[in-house]
Amino acid sequence: MAIDVEIRKQLGTFCLDVHLKSASRRIGILGASGCGKSLTLKSIAGIERPDEGYVNINDRILLDTRKKIDLKPQQRRVGYLFQNYALFPTMTVEENIAAGLTGKKAEKMEKVHRMMERFQIRGLEKHLPGQLSGGQQQRVALARILVYEPDVILLDEPFSALDAHLRDRMLRELLELLEDYEGTAILVSHSRDEIYSFSEEVLIMENGKGICMGKTKELFDNPQWEVAARLTGCKNIVKVCKENGRFIVPDWGIALEGKIPEQIKSIGIRAHDFIPVWDEVPDNAIPVEEWNRVDCPFERKYFIKAKAGEEDICWFVQRDLYDEIDEKGMPKALIVPEEKILVLGTIIMP
């Protein structure tokens, strides 16, 4: 299964211009609210019509504005899971799954019951959506989609309205339900944790543009672009300038050592990667001037002011360092490990 999407659409002052090409079975689209993630899904499904572009799924063209091809949503074999699951409230589970199926009643009900067996919702045939738990509603919504045997399933932030515990449980359940699905599933979310757990590849979006795309774990490890670093959870991103052949970080008052790429624009350090020092301050270490602390259930978050620059530094400390910090006090400096520096400024996508 392969998907190749290129979409351009103008909505007032907002312009969607995104290209998504992948052969992965599980794809994530990560971006802040309002960046165009849902509009991208709706364009793939045929709910929205792009001004120009194309959608090709497994060598089947669903949209090509140059050739005036534009299949109706019901012809695209694309399943769309909305945020609230969009179940018909006055129809039973059985009727919801069967809605839209054609053919003889016996054949339709055989398909419906097969899906109910697969998703472990037998016994709920006559229940209304309002009588179901959130997990049961998700199963019914997925059964309704998969009964049509779609080539692609589009998941539009299905957990955004849930609390953290329920969101994690529902994501695990979704992954289990999709284990046997051989088509492509695309999840859009502003949650990096959901995207990391779900996807094999991820597209990073900002302001309607696809910024970069790559293998999920590789892109989280090496985001290469400021937007990608920020969206994947990097709290410390600062500009870099070149002076006398050295790369200087003005906001931290340090010079970078080691082999630094010429195209560097900024660097990032994840909040857990600093190394504290209480004695002599080595190279690649940021002298600490003042700090504030926020206690969380499983870590401490320090917001530190460096002696140079105005930007706060975020340093997140795990429990195994608590005793040392309580005994010695705050460190003199934080080492920036060379191997943990995220070099930012290059773009992955053409």
> What is the domain partition of the chain in residue ranges?
3-223, 236-344
Domain 3-223 classified CATH 3.40.50.2300? no
H-helix segments, the chain: 37-45, 93-98, 105-118, 134-146, 164-177, 192-198, 216-221, 226-231, 322-328
Pairwise CA distance, residues 247 & 253, whole Å: 11
**What's the pLDDT score for residue 272?**
95
3-state secondary structure of 324: helix
**What's the pLDDT score for residue 193?**
92
Helix (H) or strand (E) holding 302: strand 299-306
**What's the pLDDT score for residue 284?**
83
Q: Are the C-beta atoms of residues 27 and 186 closer than 8 Å to each other? A: yes
**What's the pLDDT score for residue 170?**
79
- In the chain, count of helices (H) and strands (E)? 9, 22
Q: Are the C-beta atoms of residues 18 and 205 closer than 8 Å to each other? A: yes
pLDDT mean for each 10 residues of the chain (350 residues)? 93 95 96 94 95 95 96 93 84 89 86 87 90 86 88 88 75 85 92 94 95 95 92 93 81 77 84 93 84 90 80 89 90 90 70
**What's the pLDDT score for residue 56?**
97
Residue 7 token pair: 């979409």
CB atoms within 10 A of CB 21: 14
- Letter for the amino acid at 88? F
Residue 105 token pair: 């009643």
- Residue 152: closest CA among 64, 55, 70, 67: 55
CB atoms within 10 A of CB 286: 27
Helix (H) or strand (E) holding 35: none
Size of the chain, expressed as the number of residues it contains: 350
**What's the pLDDT score for residue 350?**
47
**What's the pLDDT score for residue 223?**
93
Q: Are the C-beta atoms of residues 334 and 274 closer than 8 Å to each other? A: yes
**What's the pLDDT score for residue 161?**
64
Taking 3-state DSSP, the helix, strand and coil percentages for the chain, each rounded to the nearest 5, stand at 25, 35, 40
- Letter for the amino acid at 267? I
Pairwise CA distance, residues 307 & 295, whole Å: 24
Residue 188 token pair: 């859009």
- Letter for the amino acid at 308? A
Handedness of CA 9, 11, 17, 21 (dihedral sign): negative
Question: Angle CA(269)–CA(273)–CA(277) in degrees, nearest 5?
Answer: 110
246-249 and 254-256 as β-strands: parallel, antiparallel, unpaired? antiparallel
Predicted TM-score (pTM) of this structure: 0.87
Residue 103 token pair: 């053919």
Using a 10 angstrom Cβ sphere, with 0-12 exposed, 13-18 middle and 19 or more buried, the burial of residue 294 is exposed
